[in-house]
Every structure is written in structure tokens, then in C-alpha cells.
């Protein structure tokens, strides 16, 4: 799996040592590797977007569209930003 990546001196030494078999897997390496692979898959899945259907009061939708237009962004993007701010705890909703 050679590529055209430029390695610094330390990386070259490490690559040579690895190819000579001077490194051995740490105990539990396979389990740790599986854990990180699963974490990477989960992260990738969490970064994907998901379409939803949402019922919204017409007046609220008109207002959100107007605010989005003033900000020159799509209204769906504004709704997504509001949801993200709420999920991150950056804004609250009074129930």
C-alpha cells in the first residue's frame, strides 16, 4: 500500500522498522483495533443527515422563512441550526 506521501525522517525510520518486523502487536491489539473501527463507523454514521417529516404551525413557518431569507440561507438550514444549538445546550426552550 505504497503512496506518494512524503515522510519526515522519524516516519521513515518507523516505516523501515515496521517493514523489518521490529514491531509486535501489543496485547489486546485486535480488540482495541475492533473498538476503534466500530467507533469510526459510528462517527461516520452520526455525521450523516437524516430526512424527517415535521408538522409546523403555518405562522411559525412563515416567520422562520422570513428570518432565513433576511439571513440569506435556506429555511431548512435555519431550522437545522436551531435544532443543533438546542441539542448542544447553547439555547433553551421553555416548556
* Domain coordinates in residue numbering, the chain: 9-47, 58-87
pLDDT in tens, the chain (95 residues): 556 888 999 999 998 998 898 888 888 999 999 999 999 989 988 888 889 999 999 999 999 999 999 999 999 999 999 999 999 999 998 88
Can you list the positions of beta strands (E) in the chain?
none
pTM (2 decimals)? 0.55
How far apart are alpha carbons 40 and 68 in whole angstroms? 34
Q: What is the DSSP letter of 54?
A: -
Cell 483495533 sits on residue: 33
Amino acid at each position: 500500500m505504497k503512496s506518494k506521501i512524503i515522510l519526515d525522517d522519524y516516519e521513515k525510520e518507523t516505516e523501515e522498522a515496521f517493514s523489518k518486523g521490529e514491531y509486535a502487536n501489543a496485547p489486546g491489539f485486535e480488540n482495541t483495533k475492533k473498538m476503534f473501527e466500530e467507533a469510526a463507523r459510528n462517527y461516520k454514521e452520526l455525521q450523516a443527515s437524516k430526512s424527517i417529516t415535521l408538522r409546523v404551525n403555518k405562522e411559525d413557518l412563515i416567520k422562520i422563512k422570513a428570518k432565513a431569507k433576511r439571513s440569506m440561507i435556506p429555511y431548512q438550514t435555519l431550522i437545522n441550526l436551531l435544532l443543533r444549538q438546542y441539542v448542544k445546550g447553547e439555547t433553551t426552550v421553555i416548556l
